[in-house]
A and B are shown apart, each in its own frame.
Chain A
Amino acid sequence: MSAVIEEHHDDHDHGPAKGLARWLFTTNHKDIGTMYLWFSFLMFLIGGTMALIIRAELFQPGLQFVQPEFFNQMTTNHGLIMVFGAIMPAFVGLANWLIPMMVGAPDMALPRMNNLSFWILPFAFGLLISTLFMEGGGPNFGWTFYAPLSTTYAPDTVTFFIFGVHMMGASSIMGSINIIATILNMRAPGMTFMRMPLFVWTWLITAYLLIAVMPVLAGAVTMMLFDIHFGTSFFSAAGGGDPVMFQHIFWFFGHPEVYIMILPAFGIVSAIIPTFARKPLFGYDSMVYATASIAFLSFIVWAHHMFTVGMPLAGQLFFMYSTMLIAVPTGVKVFNWVATMWKGSMTFETPMLFAIAFVILFTMGGFSGLMLAITPADYQYHDTYFVVAHFHYVLVPGALFSIIAAVYYWLPKWCGRMYDETLGKTHFWLSFIGVNVTFFPQHFSGLAGMPRRIPDYALAFADFNMISSVGAFIFGFSQLFFLYVLIKTITSGRPATAQVWDGAKGLEWTIASPAPYHSFTTPPVVTLENNPH
C-alpha cells in the first residue's frame, strides 16, 4: 500500500521530458510560458527589422531602399506582427508563468488547450510572413486593413492573411479561457478576489475583453473573405454595402484590443513599483475599479478612431465625451503609482527603471491621447505622425517597457540566476534614449502636417525624420543587447535567492529560485505576510 503511494508521489515529482518532445507535447505552464516569451521575442525582432526598413527609407526624402509597394507591406506587417505576434503573446507568456504561481495553483486549469493555443501561433505567423515571398506580395493595406483596399483592391495573399488572423484569434480565445478558468477555479484557500495581485486582476479583465472582441475580428475578416471570394458586398459600396461599416466593426474590436495590450502592463507596474519603493501599493481597491472602468469604457469609444469618416454631429460628440472620460480612471492609476513611490524607500534596479519610465512615458502618450480625443483638433492630428507618436508612446515605452521590466523582475525566479545590473541599466538607458529620440520628433512632424504610412515626404519634414531614424536604430540594436543580457544571465548569471528582491511580496517569492517544475502541488496558506493585500 505504501509502495503505491510512494509511486504515486514520484509520479508528481517528475521533471520535464527530454529533447524536442518536451516542447512539442508539454502541458507545463512554465514550459509553455517560456515558449510564448521566446516566440514573442523572435516576432519582436522580425517586426523590429521591418520597422528599421521603414525608418531607413524615411531617413531622407526620396526613394532610396524600397519602392512604395514594398514599403506598404512593411508598415502593414510591422503593425500586425508587433500587435499580435510580439506584445500579445508576451503577455500570455507572462500570464502562463506567473498566474499559477501568484494564485498558488499547480498549473493552468486547462493544460492541453494551453499547449494547443501556443502551437497555433508559429503556424499563424509562418503563414502571414510567408505571404511576403508570394507572387503579388503580402498584405499592404495597413494593420487596420480598411475595406475596400483590403478586399476589392487587395493582393491575392489577403486570403492567407485572413486565415492567419483566424488562427491568431483562436489561439487568443483559448488562452483567455484558460486564464479565466485558472483564476476563477484554482486560487489557493484564502486568495480572495480582493487579495489577488493586480497582475492577476488585470489579466482576468483582459481575458474577458479578448473573449468579447476576438469573435468580432473573426467576423470582420470572414465578411472580407465572403466579399472577396463569394460575391457578397458587405463592404463594397457598388453592391450596396458600406466601407464605413468595416471600420465600425474593426474598431469595436480594435479599441478593446488597445487595452488588451496595456491592462496587463498596469498589473506588472503595480507589482514592481511597490517592491522597489518598499511600500504597499497605494489604492489597491481603486486600481481594481479603475481597471474595470477602463475595460467598460473601451467598448463605447471605438469611433474616436473614425472622427474624419463623416459621422453625424451627435455621434461625434458622444464619442468625444466618452473618450475623454477614459482620462479619469487612467489618471487614478498614474496618481496611485506616484503615491506608492511617495515616502517609500526607493532603489533603482533595472525593473524599477523600466517601470518608472513606463509611468512617465505612458502618461505622455495619455496626454497626446487626450488631445486626440478633442474632435475638432483631431481633424488636424488624424492619420498624421502625431498619431504615430501617440500610439508608439503607449505601446513601446508603455506595453513593451512593462514586458521588459517584467522579464528583469521575474527572470531570477524563472531561471534561478541574476542578471548583471550594469548590463541591465545600460540596456535601460539605451532603450530610454532610443525610444524618445525615435518617437518624440514624430509629434512635431505630425503637427507640421506629415501623413502617416507614406514612403516619401516633403522637404519640410526632413530634419525630424532623420532624427527619428537615428533613434530607431539606437533602439533596435539595444534590443539585440537585451538578447545578449538574457543569454548571459541564463547561462552564467550568479545564483538568485528565493526572495530575489528584498521588498518583493507575493506567493511566487515563497518558492525556490528557479521555480521547481511543479510548484504548489499542495495549496499554500495565503497570509498577509506572503500576499500583500
Chain B
Amino acid sequence: MRAKNSSSASANRTTAASTLGQTLLGALLAVGVSAPSWADRFNMPVGVTDISRQVYDLHMLIFYICCVIGGGVFGVMIWSMLHHRKSHGVEPATWHESTKVELAWTIIPVFILIGMAVPATKVLVQMYDTGGEDMAIEVRGYQWKWEYKYLDDDRNKAFGFMSNLSTPQDEIQEVTAKGEHYLLEVDEPLRIPVNRKVRFLVTSNDVIHAWWVPDFGIKRDAVPGMMNDLWAIVEEPGIYRGQCTELCGKDHGFMPIVVEAMPEDEYDAWYESRKILAKEQEKLASMNFTHEELMEQGAEVYSKYCASCHQENGKGIPPVFPALDGSAIATGPVDDHIGIILNGKPGSAMQAFSSQLRPDEIGAVTHYERHAWGNNTDDIVQPIDVVNLMNKEG
C-alpha cells in the first residue's frame, strides 16, 4: 500500500530533490511489498498476443536457468572466499587441473544450451509465419513520425495517415506539467481489430527506424529500400504504446507508436468512416481559402511537421536547420518555395513532403511561412497552386 502511495506521488513530482528519497524508498518497497504494478515496473510485459506470451515464458525460462547457474557459481565463490582465507590459517592446495572436471563443465553447458535453443527455435519459427493474414498495413518511418497505410486486398493503398507525437513542446521543455502518457501519445493512433491476423509491412522513407509494440512481442527495423514483415493477432481491446527503437536522428526519442486494438465491429465501422474522411480530405485540394483560414491551418501543420527543425519562431537551428524567417526561399518565388516542400533538399535533412502531406496542407503551410514572423509577401497560396505544380512536375 505504501509502495502504491509513493509511486503515485512520484508521478506528480515537482522537484527532483524532494522526490529522490521517495523514489529510492518506493523502489525498495516495491521489491518487498507486492503491488499490482510490480511486474510491469521490473519485468517484460506479458502482452496481449499468443506470441508475446510465449516470448515472455521463454524470457523467464532463460532467466531462471541463469539464476540457478549464477546461484551455484557465486555460491561456491562466496563460500570459498569465506573459508579459504589466509587469515584462517589455510594452507593452499597445489592441484591445478582435472581433465574430468574440465570436460564435465564443458559438456554439461552444451546440453543446457540445447535445452534453451529448442523452445527458442519453436517460437522463432512461429514468428516468421507471416502468411495467411486477414489484412495488411504498411508502416513507414519518417524523421520523426510514423505513417500508416491501410492496404486493400490487392495491396493498394485504401487510405493512410501520419501519426505524430502529440505531447506539447511545453511539457518537454518543463514549462507545463507532464500528462499521464507523456511522450507516448500521438495525434492519430494506428487502429486495428482484435482477433484478426494483421500483417505489418515495415519500411522507411529516410534513415533506419524500428517499430516496436512491447505488448505484441514484435519489433522490426524500418529500413529504407527494404520491406520487413511482422504480424500480430491481438486478443484484448485496448491502447498499446511503444517507441522507435533505432537511433534515427535528433527526435529519435519523440516518435512514439500508439496502437488502438478495437472490437471487430467497432473497427469495421471506423474503417468505413475513415475511408470516407480520406476521400473528403482529397476534395480540399480543389477548394479556395481565405488568408485567415490558410494561416490557421498553416500554423497547425507547421508546428507538427516543420517546427522540430525550423523552430516555432522560424529562426531554425543554423547551420543545420536554416531559418525561414527572412529566408530567400520563404520570401522568393512561390513555386520555388512549394517545390522545396514537395521534393525536399537532397543531401540535407529537408524531407520531401509530397507523400506526407495533402495539397491543401502544403498550400496552407507555404502560405503560413510566407506571412508568419517577419515575412510578409503579398501573395495567397491556394491548394490548387500545389496541385498545378505537382502536375507540371509529373
A-side residues, CB < 8 A to B, are: 59-64, 68-69, 72, 135-137, 140-142, 146, 148-149, 152-153, 155, 237-238, 242-244, 277-286, 308-310, 313, 316-317, 320-321, 324-325, 327-328, 331-332, 334-336, 338-348, 356, 359-360, 363-364, 367, 370-371, 374-377, 379-380, 382-384, 441, 444, 447-449, 451-460, 462-464, 466-467, 470
Contacts and interface: CB of A to CB of B under 8 A. Distances in A.
Contact of B66 (A146, A310, A370, A448): A370
B120 interface: yes
Nearest to A465: B23
Contacts of A452: 245, 247
A346 B92 CA distance: 8
Contact of A383 (B96, B229, B245): B245
B214 A380 contact: yes
Given A244-B223, A456-B183, A284 B96 contact: yes
Interface stretch (B78-86, B156-164, B272-280): B78-86
Contact of B124 (A60, A283, A336, A376): A376
Contact of A69 (B43, B110, B320): B320
A183 B209 CA distance: 46
A374 B11 CA distance: 34
A279 B10 contact: no
A336 B106 CA distance: 11
Given A283-B102, A460-B41, A462-B10, 9 more contacts: A146-B208, A153-B206, A279-B94, A342-B76, A345-B90, A348-B81, A370-B66, A374-B116, A452-B245
Contacts of B183: 61, 456-458
Contact of A347 (B86, B95, B181, B210): B86
B207 interface: yes
A320 B117 contact: yes
Interface string B89-100: 011111111100
A379 B218 contact: yes
Interface residues of B, number: 109
Interface in B1-38: 7, 10-11, 13, 16, 20, 23-24, 26-27
A237 B225 contact: yes
A379 B217 contact: yes
B173 A62 contact: yes
Which of B113, B127, B244 has the largest number of chain A CB atoms within 10 A? B113
A149 B113 contact: no
B45 interface: yes
B11 A459 contact: yes
11 contacts: A146-B247, A283-B98, A283-B102, A325-B113, A341-B77, A360-B77, A380-B214, A382-B245, A444-B41, A462-B13, A463-B26
Given A142-B247, A367-B70, A448 B41 contact: yes
Contact of B84 (A146, A282, A346): A346
B319 A135 contact: yes
A63 B94 contact: no
B243 A449 contact: yes
Contacts of B389: none
Interface string B176-189: 00101111100000
B227 to A, nearest CB: 8
B59 A371 contact: yes
B249 interface: yes
B247 A332 contact: no
Nearest to A502: B86
A327 B174 contact: no
A59 B59 CA distance: 29
B125 interface: yes
Interface in B228-266: 228-229, 241-254
